[in-house]
Structure 1
Amino acid sequence: MRYLITSALPYANAPLHIGHVLEIVQTDVWVRSLKLAGNEVFYYCASDTHGTPIMLKAQELNTTPEELSKKYKKLHSDTYKSYNVDLNNFHTTHSKENKELTEHFFNSAFEKGDIYTKEIEQLFDEQKNIFLSDRFVKGECPSCGAKDQYGDACEVCGKTYDALDLKNPYSTLSKSEPVIKKSKHYFFKLNNFKEFLNETVSEISNQTPIKEKLKEWFDSGLKDWDISRDEPYFGFKIPNEDSKYLYVWLDAPIGYLSSIKNWCDNNNIDFNDFINDSKIVHFIGKDIVYFHLLFWPATLKAANFPIPNEVYVHGFLTVEGEKMSKSKGNFILADDALNYAEADFFRYYFSSKLNRDISDINFSIDDFIQKINSDLIGKYINIPSRTLNFINKFNNSQVKKGCNTLTASFRNKYDQVIVYLSEKEYSKALKEIMDIADSTNTYISNEEPWNKAKNEQIDECISVCSEALNVFKDLNILISAIIPTTADKIFSLLNINKQNYSNLCEDSLNDVNEFKPLLKRLEKDNFEGILNNNE
């Protein structure tokens, strides 16, 4: 089976933080686990480069939006690599491929009558001489009265609304009270696709909380979607218009396809055949469900493109129990985090908390340190540290053949780990893996190979150590999707090539290398400053 996997496109106006890492790790682990199962899998992403925020940021820095987005595209790409993310292509939405596809989407929908124009009233900042997008106006929620809510949705009660409905609105750009001005805009008839979406969404979303939220939106009625913006704006111009642009949320998800197309063109692969003969899966945060499970499938349908097979949603990442905020001193940039611990440690920690739930996930430094030291060092790496030296010293570094009784006893557990990974239940998979590691360490303790060696029962000592190392080899295959760099080091330590699920329970170990510590325990003192160095 061939899979085309994406994670949400990072916005190209700031470095990535560890909340982004949560999503790319969740995606990458699934990509790697599918490959271990023998599937053909490709992972695509891109920089989300359009919109008012990038335009304003570029003005502030006295540069162009193109240069700014190019800078952050490279920075984001480098961060992905630093976290061992197995991307096939990292493109940009400000590209010829995305322009061509976006115009095709627009023209297809317009010709079918799914897009129309009408004059609307908008909030306008007279001091900055700009129409205010939803992200640049705040006020009191018209539903629950919560203060300082953006112009499209309330973070407190979850209701969506029009910016004109905000009470006591103000511009976040100038803090002034906006005026109302009229302008012609283009609208996508989302409600035309209600029946299609009702049928489709149930097939591409299997998470209960998401289904319930979608039902709520369907019951309240789908509103037509404003897909245009007035100048000044950074983006693609609407065909046959001089001063109007396509809203970034129209071309941003098309960026998934443009990244795939860019890769296909560079590899002489037919783009249309490729996407039509693949399963497409998106990983996203719960804040952009509306765009990905309503607008995106509808626009794909209008343009005669394949609908994603699954949209998988995760919760937010909090730090020390609170939403990340520079003012609270708990904002951690992704690159800065690597000054305190290696990438695989973050990958392991996030995976140990990820499952099919969409509840928020908390990053706690104390819990992080305890989890890594207890699991990866105290249980996992403890297996070779207690056995490998005996093999090196007493058996010329040769693992004894036929010592796979222990690993065979865990076969059902191995299969369960594979199922959990395929179902994106990473926390359950790691619990099984660490249970096996625990059992293996108990086996070593009970058999006491050190005493067998001391009593010159060398063959029995080598048998025990070989049994344990065969299990460790299998655990390394199972965990390699989660901690790939560490797993590669362990495969080298065991003197074997990378392996996949088909190699589980194989008696494949021969001569092994001398044990050297692969992971270093984390110490609380070393984390001083991690929450206060991102001002």
Structure 2
Amino acid sequence: MKKRKILVTNALTYANNTLHLGHMIGYIQADIWSRFQKMNGHDCVYIGGSDGHGTPIMIRAEQENKDPAAFIEAIQTEQQKICRDFLIDLTHFYTTHSEENKTLADMIYARLQKQGDIIKRTIEQAYDPIKKLFLPDRYVKGECPKCGAKDQYGDSCEICSATYSPMELKNPVSILSGQTPVTRTSEHYFFRLSHYEAKLKQWSTENHLPVEAINKLNEWFEAGLQDWDISRDVPYFGFKIPGTEDKYFYVWFDAPLGYFSILQHWCQLTGKTDFDDYLDPHSNVELYHFIGKDIMYFHTLFWPAVLMSAELKTPTKISIHGFLTIDGQKMSKSRGTFIKAQTYLDHLHPEYFRYYAASKLTSRIEDIDLNLEDFRLKINADLVGKVVNLASRCAGFIQKYFDNHLSDVYENESLIDEFKEASATIATCYEEREFAQAVRLIMQLADRANQYIDEKKPWVTIKDPAQVHQTHITCTMGLNLFRLIMIYLKPILPEIAAKTEIFLNIAPLTWNDINTLLLNHPIHVFAPLMQRIDPAAIETLKQAEKNHP
């Protein structure tokens, strides 16, 4: 297999608040995919970080009487810890508020200017006369001008996906003061997105996007692409546009550049000299973005168009997931359906959620529902009842009767072959981000393994001196089947995989290990790998969010 060079990114999380479980869907999806690549020996770098600019951050820092830079640094530290606690194997976690990102933003802006893709235009925009500042799109709410949905933000409608400017809303209101914004004029800088419509149409047909995204792009193409305002007025927290005194890059201009600047920061820290390969449009580097559907517009239109203008590498694939709902409802603290990532970690193991998310994730843009009762039942049935129990029931016999040493022979080669032959299909599911299908196939194998043990009945054969050797073979087979299952589950359950490696006395599992068996091999004493979820733990989790802001 040819070694691939891959840059994986998850959408940079905004540095104005704590992470909730919805944020973790993207991190986990990207983590599973990148771990699978690493298990196959590929050079895969996984970048994450905090998006650290914009008016919301400026306002939040002011409310807390903090310097914006210090404010986002604290949030960044918290977000990084949560990712680590969710077992997200990030190569590097950093911020967009960095010298590397400023230099990159200035460089790319200069390239866009050289291409003739930057123009100035006087615009009208929403201004809060009470707070005395121009309002970001999402600081204006009102009724969608297209479908009439109420309580929509000033940039796009969550109901019909229409895009518009804040003052196009019906009955617009500033969320800062509650007052109706007024319209004021200002000179802004625009990227000529319309120049790249033909190239974007071509790019969208080259298997870079899910089919649902392609359909949405075709709607936007049909409506005609509008040039993109990449500037904001003072006061603003961000990077000043070169050659200006009172204009700043819009956060969505420099935020995706953070994918590259965070990579550059890591390269500098580690002495890597191949950073330019990741930007070179002619290199063999693959660029995979994992994002939520709420930021599809920026990543599938603006971002590739900017990269085209700057003559840099465009994304190989953009994987897009839907929103997370809880018990079929949008997140709501009053209903107990809002769960912060840290609150979850305070009460439940991260691999429970990693597995449940994987069992729902596909390559399609679909919302994912965390049904808490189904969540509990699935973890208890699949992971504890099928996978962990398989190891536990076999290890007990190996420890008690065979001095923690596996047999030197095995049986039922056709069953072993069945497990090995599943490798190609499961690998394809991982590669194509069809994690739910991968989980279904792996659980089918777990069922087959447990069926084998049930048929062999080692608890019966161990009582017959003539069948003690058969019991040894049976349990050796069971642990080998368990090991094969854990190879397949390792991208999803890295901590249980690590515990399995210790228990089985083996080196870190790779995908190629599917071709070998453990025979005449010493193992360690089995220790519990995972506990069942008690119903009370779910209720405690829900109550914790209701009781804390």
TM-score (norm 1): 0.98
Retained in 1: the 8 A contact 2:278–2:313? no
Letter in 2 for 1:179: V
Structure 1 partner of 2:487: 477
Shift of 1:273: 2.5
Q: Using the TM superposition, give the Cα deviation of residue 30 of structure 1 relative to its aligned residue in structure 2, in angstroms.
A: 0.3
Counterpart of 2:473 in structure 1 is 463
Pick one of 501, 506, 513 that aligns with 1:496: 506
CA–CA distance in 1 between the matches of 2:279 and 2:496? Answer: 33
Match of 1:125 in 2: 128
Asked if 2 retains the 8 angstrom alpha-carbon contact of 1:275 and 1:306, the reply is yes
Segment of structure 1 superposing worse, 268-277 or 461-470: 268-277
- Say whether 1:23 aligns with 2:11: no
Q: Which residue of structure 1 lines up, in the alignment, with residue 431 of structure 2?
A: 422
2:523 corresponds to: 512
**5 Å matches for 1:144-183?**
144-183=147-186
Judge which range, 252-261 or 523-532, deviates more. 523-532
Are 1:98 and 1:254, in contact at CA under 8 Å, matched by a contact in 2? yes
- 1:194-243 Cα distance to aligned partner (Å, 9 max, x none): 11111112225341111111111111100010110000100000111111
Q: Is the 8 A contact 1:281 1:310 kept in 2?
A: yes
1:133, distance to aligned residue in structure 2 (A): 1.4
1:385 CA drift (Å): 1.4
1:88 counterpart = 2:95 = no
After superposition, the C-alpha distances for 1:429-469 in whole angstroms (9 at most, x for unaligned) are 11111111111111111111111110111111111111111
Q: Contact (CA 8 Å) 2:288, 2:318: kept in 1 or not?
A: yes
The residue aligned with 2:275 is 271
Q: Is the 8 A contact 1:477 1:501 kept in 2?
A: yes
Q: CA deviation at 1:274?
A: 4.2
Q: Where does 1:9-88 land on structure 2 (aligned, <5 Å)? A: 9-88=12-91
Amino acid at match of 1:441: N
Shift of 1:98: 0.2
* Match of residue 407 from structure 2: 400
In the other structure, the counterpart of 1:296 is: 303
- Give deviations 1:98-118, integer Å, cap 9, x for gaps: 000011111111122101001
Write the letter of the residue equivalent to 2:276. Answer: N
Pick which of 275-284 and 213-222 moved more: 275-284
Instruction: Name the residue aligned to 1:523.
Output: 534
Which residue of structure 2 lines up, in the alignment, with residue 452 of structure 1? 461
For 1:241-274, what per-residue CA distance to the aligned partner results, in whole angstroms no more than 9, with x for missing partners? 1111110000000000101111112222231124
CA distance in 1, matches of 2:155, 2:427: 41
What amino acid does structure 2 have at the position aligned with 1:70?
Answer: E
1:101 aligns with 104
In structure 2, the CA distance between the partners of 1:274 and 1:135, relative to structure 1 (3 Å rule), is: closer
CA positional deviation for 1:147: 1.8
Q: Distance in 2 between matches of 1:224 and 1:468?
A: 62
Q: Taking structure 1 as reference, are residues 243 and 328 closer, same or farther at Cα in structure 2, changes over 3 Å only?
A: farther
Query: Aligned partners of 1:410 and 1:13: how far apart in 2?
Result: 47
Contact kept in structure 1, 2:7 and 2:278, CA below 8 Å: no
**What is the one-letter code of the residue matched to 1:429?**
A
**SS at 2:532 equivalent:** coil
Residues 321-362 of structure 1: CA deviation (Å, up to 9, x unaligned): 111123433110101101221111111111011111211100
Q: Verify the 8 A CA contact 1:235 1:245 in the aligned structure 2.
A: yes
**2:371 maps to 1:364:** yes
- Could you tell which deviates more after superposition, 395-404 or 105-114? 395-404
Q: Count how many residue pairs are aligned between Structure 1 and Structure 2.
A: 535
Amino acid across the alignment from 1:350: A
Q: Per-residue deviation at 1:529?
A: 3.4
Measured in 1, the distance between the counterparts of 2:503 and 2:274 equals: 41
- Give 3-state SS (helix, strand or coil) of 2:14's partner: coil
Does the 8 Å contact 1:228/1:247 carry over to 2? yes
- Asked whether the equivalents of residues 318 and 363 of structure 1 are also in contact (C-alpha less than 8 Å), the reply is yes
Equivalent residue letter for 1:221: G
Percent sequence identity is: 41
Shift of 1:156: 1.5
After TM superposition, give the deviation of residue 163 of structure 1 in Å. Answer: 1.8
SS at 1:531's partner residue?
Answer: helix
Q: Give 2:94's aligned amino acid.
A: H
Deviation of 1:122 after TM superposition, in Å, equals 1.1
Give the aligned residue type for 2:366. Answer: S
- Is the CA contact (8 Å cut-off) linking 1:93 and 1:252 kept in structure 2? yes
Conserved 8 A contact 2:419-2:484:
no
Conservation of the 8 A alpha-carbon contact between 1:470 and 1:505: no
Distance 1:334 1:259 in 2: 23
Which AA in structure 1 matches 2:463? K
| Letter paired with 1:334 | A
Worse-superposed segment, 308-317 or 201-210 = 201-210
**Aligned-pair distance for 1:393?**
2.3
- After alignment, is 323-332 or 479-488 more displaced? 323-332
Tell me the CA shift for residue 59 of structure 1: 0.5
Out of 134-143 and 388-397, give the one that drifted further: 388-397
CA contact (8 A) 2:128 2:181 kept: yes
User: How far off is 1:275 after superposition?
Assistant: 4.1
Please give the alpha-carbon distance, in whole angstroms, between the structure 2 residues aligned to 1:273 and 1:530: 46
Looking at structure 2, the residues matched to 467 and 518 of structure 1 have their Cα atoms a distance apart, in angstroms, of 19
Name the CA distance, whole Å, in 2 between partners of 1:111 and 1:274. Answer: 22
Cα distance between partner residues in 2 of 1:507 and 1:45: 37
The aligned residue for residue 340 of structure 2 is: 333
- Mapped partners of 1:373, 1:480: distance in 2: 18
3-state SS in 2 of match to 1:533? helix
Question: Following superposition, which runs of at least 4 residues in structure 1 exceed 6 angstroms of deviation?
Answer: none
User: Which of residues 387, 400, 403 is equivalent to 1:380?
Assistant: 387
Amino acid across the alignment from 1:199: Q
C-alpha distance in structure 2 between counterparts of 1:213 and 1:28, whole Å: 27
Root-mean-square deviation (CA, aligned residues, Å) is 1.3
Give, in whole Å, the separation in 1 of the partners of 2:219 and 2:459.
63
Aligned-partner Cα distance in 2 for 1:156–1:446: 53
Matching residue within 331, 341, 347 for 2:354? 347
Aligned residues of 2:406 and 2:518 also touching (Cα < 8 A): no
User: d(CA) in 2 for partners of 1:242 and 1:204?
Assistant: 42
1:372 CA drift (Å): 0.5
Q: Report if aligned partners of 1:153, 1:161 keep a CA contact under 8 Å in 2.
A: yes
Kept in 1, the 8 Å contact 2:208–2:315? The answer is no
